[in-house]
Amino acid sequence: MSNLDSKPDSVPRRAAMRRRSRETEVLVDLDLDPPSPSAQIDSGIGFLDHLLSALAVHAGWDLRLVCRGDLEVDDHHSAEDTGLALGETFARALAAGDGPARFGSAYAPLDEALARAVVDLSGRAYCRAALGLDGARLGGLSGEMVGHFLASFAQAARITLHVDVLWGENAHHKAEAAFKALALALREASSPAEAGKRGEPGGGEIASTKGAVLLEEIEGSRWEALASDLRGRENARA
Give the CATH number for residue 21. Answer: 3.30.230.40
- Is position 230 within any domain? no
Higher pLDDT: 173 or 226? It is 173
Kindly report the pTM of this predicted structure. Answer: 0.82
Looking at residue 207, its amino acid is A
- Is position 229 within any domain? no
- Is position 207 within any domain? no
pLDDT tens string 102-147 = 999 999 999 999 999 999 999 999 999 999 999 999 999 999 999 9
**Residues shown for the chain:** 238
- Is position 61 within any domain? yes
Domain holding 136, by residue range, is 14-195
- Would you state the pLDDT for residue 189? 97
- Would you state the pLDDT for residue 217? 60
Is pLDDT of 234 > 70?
no
What is the four-CA torsion angle of 194, 197, 198, 204, rounded to 10 degrees?
Answer: 0
Q: How far is CA 37 from CA 11, 19, 62, 162, 227, in A?
A: 18, 24, 5, 24, 45
**DSSP three-state, residue 148:** helix
Is pLDDT of 37 > 90?
yes
- Would you state the pLDDT for residue 149? 98
When the pLDDT of each residue in the chain is averaged and rounded to a whole number, the result is 87
Beta strands in 80-196 (DSSP E): 103-110, 113-120, 126-130, 137-138, 141-142, 160-167
Contact 193, 101 (CB under 8 A): yes
Q: How far is CA 97 from CA 100, 106, 141, 197, in A?
A: 8, 23, 34, 16
- Is position 235 within any domain? no
- Would you state the pLDDT for residue 229? 81
The count of domains in the chain is 1
- Would you state the pLDDT for residue 121? 96
- Is position 236 within any domain? no
Buried b (16+ CB within 10 A) or exposed e, 206-227: bbeeeeeeeeeeeeeeeeeeee
- Would you state the pLDDT for residue 3? 46
Is pLDDT of 230 > 50?
yes
- Is position 208 within any domain? no
- Is position 205 within any domain? no
Segment 153-158 mean pLDDT: 98
